[in-house]
Structure 1
Amino acid sequence: MKVKSLFVLTAMIGAIAFHQTALAKERETGRSTGPVVYVIAQDKFYDSIVLADLPAKGRFQQLFPGEGPSGLATEYGPGDVGYLGGRWWVDGNENGEMDEEDAYFLCPLLGPGRDDI
């Protein structure tokens, strides 16, 4: 179960790495090339960093790969009610339910948000 979750997470991150617009560009801010997440409620983009695979316990916010202008999207970001500090759930089997087939991980959004990728 944990290996499958890690595999889903690794595959997702690999796909993002090859999606050119999902990568943070080198900027004056010193940000590197981590995934960029689009926050729907704010209409903003955030750099992020993947820190750890998590057990499927506690509250998680859904992250939608393949959606949004950057290739990753979520409903809420920093400062919004509903943002859970980067505790993400990716519905690996696309059944709409949090279960053992899905990926759970810690990947905080790094502010401030910005208007473009």
Structure 2
Amino acid sequence: MKNFLTLILIIAGGSVFGQREIDENGRPIGAKPAFLVSNVEDVYLKKNESFIAGAEVKLDYSLPKGVTSGKLTLFHPRKDEELQSYTLSSETGSVTVNVKEMPVSFFSAGLYDPQGKLVKSLNVID
């Protein structure tokens, strides 16, 4: 009985201490995925840094694949107030915002699909 108990403890201890740590995807830490995923996001909303104009900001967007319409809404960063809204009619494109017409120099932008679901958001500082 004593030998049997010792054998059980050795097997249990070996299995506990022999486990490798895993990441949030279930792979051993440091392991690479079996296939590579594209580094470029299909959906984005970003400020175009190459567009330089004191009174305007250009926002580039891309809607989810297959979605050809949507809405870009600009919000006050500290109040629950909609400042401007733009209807989008293509999967990718850009919107030029006249900052001088805005009551604030920075704002939050939300990219929405046709059903009104938020796809991406961005804080824009001029």
TM-score (ref. length: structure 1): 0.30
> Max radius of gyration: which structure?
2
More strand by share: 2
TM-score (ref. length: structure 2): 0.29
Higher relative contact order (CA 8 A, sep 6+): 1
